Amino acid sequence: MNKIEIQNVTVNYTEKNKSFTALEDVSFSVGTGEFVSVIGTSGCGKSTLLSILEGINAPSKGTITIDGKQVTGTGTDRGVVFQHYSLFPWMTARNNVAFGVKQIKKGISKTDRLNIADEFLEKVGLENFKNKYPSQLSGGMQQRVAIARVLAMDTDILLMDEPFGAIDAKNRTILQELLLNLWEGGGIQEKKTVVFVTHDIDEAILLSDRIIMMSGSPGQVYKEIRVDFDRPRNRAKLVQTREYGAFRNELLSLFYSDIVNKIGGSEVVL
Ligand code: ADP
Ligand code: MG
């Protein structure tokens, strides 16, 4: 059964009496326990899409349902990770995670939420940093805390908006593998349903069961592509296969053919 159904969603923003269509007639679904990436160029409406899934923004037209129920606001079934680490600067890593847990599991005792925080900080390799404040942690470490927090919250759905976009290339690959391993069964209670926004094709292929490729101005679904590589996936092995190279090339050409269509040119210089 599908966990999330996005049906004919249009989002208009109004600024200075002018209306701007950020998303137009977007429809797709996400199965229970499925990992779906949304990929598209900057400004094509990816964050807008995530904000309506989160429930902080409402569609102008169309509907979103989760488990068959229409989304009308935020909910404890959804946890979010943003590109900017969004930790509370006045709380230690441990308290940031424990606070997230408290938001979802109302009434949980302090000991229990701190124990859960410790468990998840260990899963992301930060057991020795739990008493540090965000300003004492690198960007990559802060994003590990954000991941620990969202996993500790144990929501059915994870919404991730370019979570590794601000991280340097080496740490990005480490974090991608961490998320992949946790999601594929190395540490989360059950498989989460994930909507993961990125503009990185390799990241999308490595992590996803399916890729929703968007085109921009206004944001629309351009293509849906299944990613059928076996799991558990191993990046080093996967990228060496001929199938990976061919698939990646196919995705890249789709991605750029859309841009060529949109700008009306015949050639794109990379
Ligand atoms: P992406 O995440 O793909 O980069 P966004 O969803 O952030 O794209 O933005 C899509 C488009 O909507 C952009 O042109 C952006 O400028 C515009 N936009 C986003 N948020 C607002 C807003 N609150 N008011 C007006 N326009 C917005
Ligand atoms: Mg964005």
Q: Whose CA is nearest to atom 16 of ligand 1?
A: 43
Q: How far is the CA of 121 from the centre of ligand 1 (A)?
A: 33
Question: Which tens digits make up the pLDDT trace of 196-217?
Answer: 999 899 999 999 999 999 999 8
* Host H or E run for residue 251: helix 242-263
Q: How far is the CA of 167 from the centre of ligand 2 (A)?
A: 15
Token pair belonging to 88: 């509370």
Q: How far is the CA of 265 from the centre of ligand 2 (A)?
A: 25
Q: Outline where DSSP puts E strands in 16-139.
A: 18-31, 35-39, 61-66, 69-70, 78-81
Q: 53 with 78: CB under 8 angstroms?
A: yes
State CA 257 to chain mean position distance.
Answer: 25
Pocket of ligand 1 (CB under 6 A): 13, 15, 20, 22, 40, 42-48
What integer is the mean pLDDT of 148-168? 93
Question: Which tens digits make up the pLDDT trace of 55-110?
Answer: 999 999 999 999 999 999 999 999 999 888 789 999 999 999 999 999 999 999 99
- DSSP-assigned beta bridge partners for residue 61: 10
**What is d(CA 9, CA 31) in angstroms, rounded to the nearest whole number?**
18
User: Closest-lying ligand to the alpha carbon of 83?
Assistant: 2
User: Closest-lying ligand to the alpha carbon of 162?
Assistant: 2
Please state, as a whole number, how many other Cβ atoms lie within 10 Å of the Cβ of residue 249. 11
Q: How far is the CA of 71 from the centre of ligand 2 (A)?
A: 21
Q: Which residues of 102-118 are buried (b: 16+ CB within 10 A; e: fewer)?
A: bebbeeeeeeebbebbb
**What is d(CA 163, CA 186) in angstroms, rounded to the nearest whole number?**
20
Helix/strand/coil for 63:
strand
pLDDT of residue 191: 80
